[in-house]
Chain A
Amino acid sequence: GQNIDQPTEMTATEGAIVQINCTYQTSGFNGLFWYQQHAGEAPTFLSYNVLDGLEEKGRFSSFLSRSKGYSYLLLKELQMKDSASYLCAVRDSTGGFKTIFGAGTRLFVKA
C-alpha cells in the first residue's frame, strides 16, 4: 500500500526559510508532487520530482531522494501570502498510476 507522512503544522517568520518534509512508502514510485492550497481554495501545482535531486523554481525548491523515500519543499524569503497548506503527493504505478495525497502541512507565516 501507500503511506505519506508530513508534519501537521509549522510556523515560520516572514523573510525566513522553511523546509517542509515528506516521507512516503509506495510499491511503484512514479513521481512526487507538491501542491499549495490556501484555505477554502483549490490546490495549485508547485513542483514535480521524478529523479533524485533538487528542483528550483524561484523562491520554492523541491528535493527528492527515492532511496530514502523522502522529499522536502524549501520556501525561501517567506511572505505572508505563503501561509497555506502544502500537500505532498506521490504517484504510484501500481493500480494504474494513482496519485495519493498526504494530509498536508499547514504553514503559518508570522510577521
Chain B
Amino acid sequence: EAGVVQSPRYKIIEKKQPVAFWCNPISGHNTLYWYRQNLGQGPELLIRYENEEAVDDSQLPKDRFSAERLKGVDSTLKIQPAELGDSAVYLCASSWTNEQYFGPGTRLTVT
C-alpha cells in the first residue's frame, strides 16, 4: 500500500513569493490534514478536511494561506506571499479511523 505522497520535498523561495505544496493521501482515507512543524516543536494543525469539506481551518492564517481538496482526494496548500516566519516543515497526513499516517513533508525555507 502506498503511503501519503507529498511534493516537493524541499523548497527555497524568497520572501513575498508564492509557493504551493501538494499531497496525495492514502487511498480510501477520507480525512486529510495539513500541519506545520517548526524545529523542536510538535506538528501544529493548519486545516483538516473530511472528504472535500474543510471542517477545521481555525489555525490557518487566511490572509496568506489557502487550501483546497478537489474531489476529496488530492490537496494543495498555498502560501501567498510567503514571509520569513513561514520557514518550516509542512506535513500532510491522512486517516481512516484513529491513527494518522504522515507524508514525508515539504521543508520550506524562505530567504
Chain B residues with CB below 8 A from A100, complex form:
45
Q: Among A95, A98, A104, which residue has its beta carbon within 8 angstroms of that of B42?
A: A104
B95 vs chain A, min Cβ distance (A): 9
* In-complex Cβ contact of A43 among B43, B58, B98 (8 A): B43
Residues from 14 to 37 in A contacting B, C-beta threshold 8 Å: 31, 33
A98 with B98: CB separation less than 8 A: no
Q: List B29-80 residues whose CB lies under 8 Å from chain A.
A: 40-45, 48, 55-56, 58
- Write out, one digit per residue, whether chain A residues 66-97 have a CB within 8 A of any chain B CB (1) or not (0): 00000000000000000000010100000110
Given A98-B48, A99-B45, A103-B42, A45:B58 Cβ within 8 A = no
For chain B, the bracket of interface size reads 10 to 19
Complex: A89 Cα to B37 Cα, angstroms: 14
| A-side contacts of B102, CB under 8 Å | 42-44
Whether B99 pairs with A33 at a CB distance below 8 angstroms is yes
Asked whether A98 lies within 8 Å of B56 as measured between CB atoms, the reply is yes
Query: What's the Cα separation between A101 and B40 when bound, in Å?
Result: 12
Q: Interface SS of chain A: helix, strand, loop or mixed?
A: strand
Verify A101–B43 contact, CB threshold 8 A: yes
CB contacts (< 8 Å) of A87 on chain B: these are 42-43
Is the pair A96, B42 in contact by a Cβ cutoff of 8 Å? no
Hey, which chain A residues are within 8 Å of B100, CB to CB?
Answer: 33, 43, 45, 99
Question: Chain A's nearest CB lies how many Å from the CB of B87?
Answer: 15
Using CB atoms, name the residue of chain A closest to B98: A48
Question: A31 touching B98 by the CB < 8 A rule?
Answer: yes
Given contacts A43-B43, A89-B42, contact A96 B56 (CB under 8 A): yes
Residues on B lying within 8 angstroms of A by beta carbon are: 40-45, 48, 55-56, 58, 91, 98-105
Residues of A within 8 A of B (CB): 4, 31, 33, 41-45, 48, 87, 89, 95-96, 98-104
